[in-house]
Structures are given as C-alpha cells and as structure tokens.
Structure 1
Amino acid sequence: MVAQTRRAMTLSGKRIIVTGAASGIGLGTTQYLLAIGARVGLLDRDEAGLQRVVAHFEGRAAPVIASADVADVSQVRRGVDQLVAGLDGLDGLVNCAGVDLLRDFEQMTAEDWQRLLGVNLMGPVNVCHAALPALKRGVNPAIVNVASAAGLRPLAQRTAYCSSKAALVMFGKALAMDLAADGIRVNTVCPGIVDTPMLQDSVRTAVDPGAAMAEISDRYLIKRAGTVQEIATAIGFMLDDAAGYITGTSLAVDGGRSFH
C-alpha cells in the first residue's frame, strides 16, 4: 500500500497576477494568496479600490497593483508588464474580472453583448495573451479562469452572461491544449452563487430581499450562497503544484447547482 502523506500548499513565494482584484472573488483570492505567502499583482479598473487593498496591507508585504480595463488590449498589456516587472516574473494567473447583466433577450442591445463578451471572455483572452511570455519563464506555471456555474447550466434573463461564461470554459480547455507543450496548466473554476457585493446589490433591489435570497438558495443542494473564501481555496488548489496533473478541466464550486 502506498503511504499516505500530508503536504503543505506550495504557493509560498509564487508570483501570481489576479484580475478583478479590488472586490468580490478577486479580492478574496488576493487575501487568500497573500495569507499563504504568495506574491500577488493586482489588476483592476477600480484604481481607488486597488489603493484600499494596498492600504489594508500597510506595514506588511503589500501587493503590486496596476489599473486596467481587461477589455482594453493596450491597457492590459501595459498593466501586465507593470505587474510582471514588480513581481520580477510570473508563475500564475487568475482571471476573476467579470460583469453580469440581468435583462430579457429582447431588451438587450449590441452594446450590452459587446460589454459582457468584452469583459467576461475577451478580458481573460487579453490577459492570458499579455502574460504568456512571462508565464513561459515561470516555475510550474498555471492559469485559472473564473467562469460560472451559469456557463454549465443556463439561467433566465442572462443570455449574454451565460454565453460568455460557457465560452470561457471552452477557451480554458482549448488553451490548455495549446500551452501543454510549454508546461503551462490551464483550468477553470465555476462558482455558483457567492456572497459578494454583486449578489448583495442584486438581492437588495428585490421587493422582498429575504424571499429573493431564499428562492435563489433553493436551487442549490447546499441551501446557501458560497463564501468568497470557499472559491478562493478552490482557485488556490488549481494554482498549486499539488494539482500538477490537472489541466483543461472545469471545476464546479456551486453547491450542486450545475447538476441539481
């Protein structure tokens, strides 16, 4: 029988860029990675939010930051170059930046589609492309794209959101094939409903916020919203060398929603 051994995560000292890092899952992932000793570069269009994150770590190992809209190729290239220089290299990338839109298909405009696809799909494409030269020089490099359970199972009034996240899942699989020869793993984490400011804002506008939250939770086998920490832990595992034989997969962290 093969001996069973416990091992620590191996992310300490790893150089990792997180997009959408000023709030929500991106912020939670940043906090998690810093807590276990990783060096983190933060990319977000919310410059004030990035400054608040840095202020929180004042006196400790603060993250490196760069402001950019992931849908803007020139901003992304400038921001990624700045972060790679600040980290002195790159071993991991987490694409968390994303936007949502709740609207009937008939009411949606071409601009709505362009914005959702521009951020949720082309954003990760742009960041991966800009980061690739540095990742090729990294140590056991890995990419984690954060999609959604809505990319695995559709939701009403979210045609653009579901389409963008489903495309992101397939992008991760195809990219894993292209980058395997470079030793770069690519995986996707698909969260279900998560207790973030985006969720809180959505529920707050309902006629009965409590009933709205109960209705949402009832779709899940685990009858609650996930926590940012639970998603961050899954992302951390996919970045870690412990997941060294995992690539091209999509991990549903969704309380059973994707099959329930």
Structure 2
Amino acid sequence: MQETPRSAEGRIALVTGAARGIGLASVERFLAEGWKVALLDIDGGNLEAAMGRLAKPDATLAIVADVSDPAQVNAAVRQVEERFGRLDALVNNAGIAIFKPLLETTFEDWSKVLAVNLSGPFLCTQAAAPLMAAHGGGAVVNITSISGLRASTLRVAYGTSKAGLAQLTKQQAVELAQHGIRVNAVAPGPVDTAMAKAVHSPEIRAAYHDAVPLARYGLESELANVIVFLCSEKASYVTGQVVAVDGGFEATGIGLPALRGHNG
C-alpha cells in the first residue's frame, strides 16, 4: 500500500547558517513550498538583513546562536518549540573553513573548525530529535562537502571535519530511525557562494571547470532543491546517504580533462 505524502503546509524547518549562501537559499525553497522556517545564525547583522529580504514575519523566526555551544543550541530548539510547537526538519548547514597547510594549522584552528562543523551538527541533532520524535518524526540533512570525500591541500581541518560529518550522518540515521527520523547528508562541490567568489581566483575557477564534468560551478538554489527534497515526504525511504551535488566532480576519479570526450 502506497503512503500518501503529508502536505508541507504547517511543517516546520530549522536551518543553521541561514543568513546567507546555501542556508538562505534553502530557507527560500522551504518557504516557497509552504513550510515555516526558523533561521539560526551566529551573525546577527546578516540574519537581520536576511529576515528583511524574506519579509515573511509570520512564517519565519530569527535565532542568533552559536551551534558549537550546547546551552545556546538547547535554547534555540526551545525557541522553535515555543513559537511553532513542533519541528519536522533540521538542516545542519552552519560551518567554517580555515584553509592552511597541514604544518601551519594550529591546534586552535583545528579545534575551532571541528567544533562548528562536526560538534555543531551533533549538538543540534541531539537537541532537535526529541522534539521531532514527539510529533511523529522528521528529517535531518547535514551539509558536508566534497572535501570530506576527496582529500586536497590546505584542508586538513575542514576536510577532516566534513569526513567526520559524513560518518556522523550514518550513525545518526541508524540510531534515530526508531524515532521516525531520517538523516542524510548533502556534499556540495564547487558552488557560487559569496565565499567562493571571494577566495577563488580566475585560475582556480578555470581548474574547477576543467575538473567538473558539467564544467561549471553549482548554484545555491540547486543545492537547496536537493536539501528540501531530502526533508520532504518524497524522500521517505531515503536515510543514511551522502548525496554529492557536484556536477559529477566526485565521480570522475582522476578525471583528466585531456581524456574527456575520448572513448578509448
């Protein structure tokens, strides 16, 4: 017997790192599909600007919090419950990157990146799961990275944190299934975010274009489409997966551009 998907109307999502980039694009996608959304970000100024841009005060809630602080995370989930009464989806998008060579990465750098990128999703999911379970379950999407699937220079802390998040996703999926909670991850490849535009030189962009079979950067909206799909009833039998949304980058292996288009 095929189940009838529940309507998105009245459903609630919490998105971390929601003030810009992939997080904000996900918020916009949720709202377009009838969800109400709590936006969490550590940057109050950017969060206020995002709320002004959305201009949907009845359907949104702004929360300024640090995902690496257990007390702030627990308080944030209580705010969601007080405002909306339930929680159906959590998107663990908040993250930071410190790009340094291995031998120049300090323990402070290492600890900061892992605190936000790995401990943050652990804390947020742990805090949110009981509220989800109390209302029949829900979905969690962790935003990892291609850097967690393929090693690269300058990413010893960032890449390791994202690889750990991919494994955390599977642990969470296995343990939370009994509560009706699905957990998946999205691993973005190169995406045209503000950070990428600021730090990727023309040479870097050209190199990515050569390495990605679709020969372009992804769009924030393309990531948001997959994130919201994984939170929806359309993905009701999908859990424990890491979905690379990367234009084929991770699938290419050595992927020499000179061999592309040749059959042998």
TM-score (norm 2): 0.90
- 1:253 lines up with 2:245 in the alignment: yes
CA drift at 1:228: 0.4
After superposition, what is the alpha-carbon deviation per residue over 1:157-181, rounded to whole angstroms, capped at 9, x for unaligned?
Answer: 1011111001000001011111111
Partner of 1:107: 104
Instruction: Compute the displacement of 1:223 (Å).
Output: 0.9
CA distance in 2: counterparts of 1:226 and 1:21, whole angstroms: 18
Residue 46 of structure 1 aligns with an amino acid whose one-letter code is D
**CA contact 1:194–1:225 (8 Å) conserved in 2:** yes
Whether the 8 Å CA contact 1:42–1:65 is kept in 2: the answer is yes
Cα 1:9–1:150 change in 2 (3 A) is farther
- Structure 2 spans left out of the alignment, 5+ residues: 253-264
Does residue 77 (structure 1) correspond to residue 74 (structure 2)? The answer is yes
Report Cα offsets for 1:79-138 as digits up to 9, x if no partner: 221122212210110000011121100001000000110010001001111112111123
- The alpha carbon displacement at 1:202 in A equals 0.8
**Residue 49 (structure 1) aligned with residue 46 (structure 2):** yes
Aligned position for 2:225:
233
Q: Say if 1:22 and 1:53, in contact at 8 Å, map to a contact too.
A: yes
1:138 aligns with 2:138: no
| Counterpart residue type for residue 171 of structure 1 | L
**Alpha-carbon contact 1:40-1:87 (below 8 Å) kept:** no
**Structure 1 runs, 4 residues or longer, greater than 3 Å off:** 7-10, 59-62
Structure 2 vs 1, CA of residues 35 and 109 (structure 1 numbering), >3 Å: closer, same or farther?
Answer: same
Report deviation, 1:59: 5.7
Question: Can you list the C-alpha shifts for 1:180-228, whole angstroms capped at 9, x where unaligned?
Answer: 111110111111011111111112xxxxx32231112222111111000
1:23 is matched with which residue: 3, 20, 23? 20
Q: What corresponds to 1:206 in structure 2?
A: none
Cα distance in 2 between the residues matched to 1:220 and 1:240: 28
Partner amino acid, structure 1, of 2:37: V
In the alignment, what sits opposite 1:172?
169
> TM-score, structure 1 length as denominator?
0.91
Q: Return 213-222 or 117-126, whichever deviates more.
A: 213-222
**RMSD, aligned CA:** 1.8
Partner of 2:257: none
User: Alpha-carbon deviation of 1:58?
Assistant: 2.7
Residue equivalent to 1:243: 235
Identical counterparts, % of pairs: 38
